[in-house]
Amino acid sequence: MTTLLAAEGLCRRYGSLVAVDALDLRLDEGERHAVIGPNGAGKTTLLDLLAGACRPDRGRITFAGRDITGLGASRRARLGIGRTHQRPAVWPSLTTLDNVMLAGWYAHRRARRRAVAVDLLERVGLGSGGLGSGGLAAAPAASLSHGQRRQLEIAMALAGAPRLLLLDEPAAGLSAAELDLLRDLLAELPRTVTVLLVEHRLDLVFALADTVTVLSEGRPVDSGTPAEITASQAVRRVYAGAPPAGLFDLEAAG
């Protein structure tokens, strides 16, 4: 397989706190890779480093064979790295449709932006045929529920036609129906889009991921298929006493 992104020896400190420590990560083109771990493990910091929201104190990041370590978030977005956040980042005063059109301004010609945005809103459940009954294209983003803002932010990330999609806890706060829609949406993404998913909902992780990496204190503890992770003794030690729901279900089922 062709490597799309490689991180080598990434380190990031905040004062005396080491958020990410000598971390290596490789993503192949088309891969669905999930990162899980306890709170404070460094998962969001890792996404910040990959997206360009912060710079590593040490280490190197390459994307499609290019060193992007020194590039900011906007440059990386233009190269094909899309990202969502723990708290949905939308423009509340703009309409839902305008949010998506603006997010994809650099990826599509002006004549195509509206059609692309309408299609994406349908796909995430905010169009006339989705959970937003009657369509929410003309509604200001400020009027959307938390779950709908999450759906909108995913549409915005996809509007940039990313080669790599970084998702930070996209299932948080979703209803059961919204979660089903999210699972279907991500499962239907073409393999031209590589996905790195940070998520606490392990049912979603195990349904989508080819590979799972477990972080603890900024370092990878183990990496493998979902079945390998559920059988990992190192992972059991990380979650000793308080494993998240579903972590060892695959092993029990086997």
Give the CATH number, domain containing residue 152: 3.40.50.300
Cα 72 from chain centroid (whole Å): 18
Q: How far apart are CA 35 and CA 49, in angstroms?
A: 14
For residues 16-31, average pLDDT: 96
User: Is 67 domain-assigned?
Assistant: yes
Domain that holds residue 239: 1-79+210-254
**72 and 96 part of one domain:** no
**125 and 188 part of one domain:** yes
**98 and 11 part of one domain:** no
pTM of the model: 0.90
Q: Are 173 and 195 in contact (CB under 8 A)?
A: no
User: Tens digits of per-residue pLDDT, 136-192?
Assistant: 899 999 999 988 999 999 999 999 999 999 999 999 988 888 889 889 989 999 999
pLDDT for residue 250: 52
Q: How far apart are CA 206 and CA 125, in angstroms?
A: 23
Q: Which residues of 181-194 are buried (b: 16+ CB within 10 A; e: fewer)?
A: bbbebbeebeeebb
**64 and 139 part of one domain:** no
User: Tens digits of per-residue pLDDT, 219-245?
Assistant: 999 999 999 998 888 888 887 766 665
pLDDT above 80 for 215: yes
pLDDT for residue 244: 64
pLDDT for residue 248: 62
pLDDT for residue 174: 87
Closest CA to 52 of 73, 79, 77: 73
CB atoms closer than 10 angstroms to residue 165 = 23
**150 and 181 part of one domain:** yes
pLDDT for residue 32: 98
| Whole-number Cα distances in Å, 166 to 15, 130, 196 | 26, 24, 5
Give me 86's structure tokens.
């723990």
User: Is 201 domain-assigned?
Assistant: no
User: Tens digits of per-residue pLDDT, 245-254?
Assistant: 566 665 544 4
User: Tens digits of per-residue pLDDT, 36-87?
Assistant: 998 889 999 999 999 999 999 999 999 999 999 999 999 999 999 999 998 8
User: Is 134 domain-assigned?
Assistant: yes
**188 and 222 part of one domain:** no
User: Tens digits of per-residue pLDDT, 87-143?
Assistant: 889 999 999 999 999 999 888 888 889 999 999 999 888 886 544 444 789 999 999
**179 and 244 part of one domain:** no
pLDDT above 70 for 210: yes
Q: How many domains does the chain have?
A: 2
User: Is 205 domain-assigned?
Assistant: no
**113 and 63 part of one domain:** no
Q: Helix (H, G, I), strand (E, B), or coil: what is residue 14? A: strand
pLDDT for residue 242: 64
User: Is 203 domain-assigned?
Assistant: no
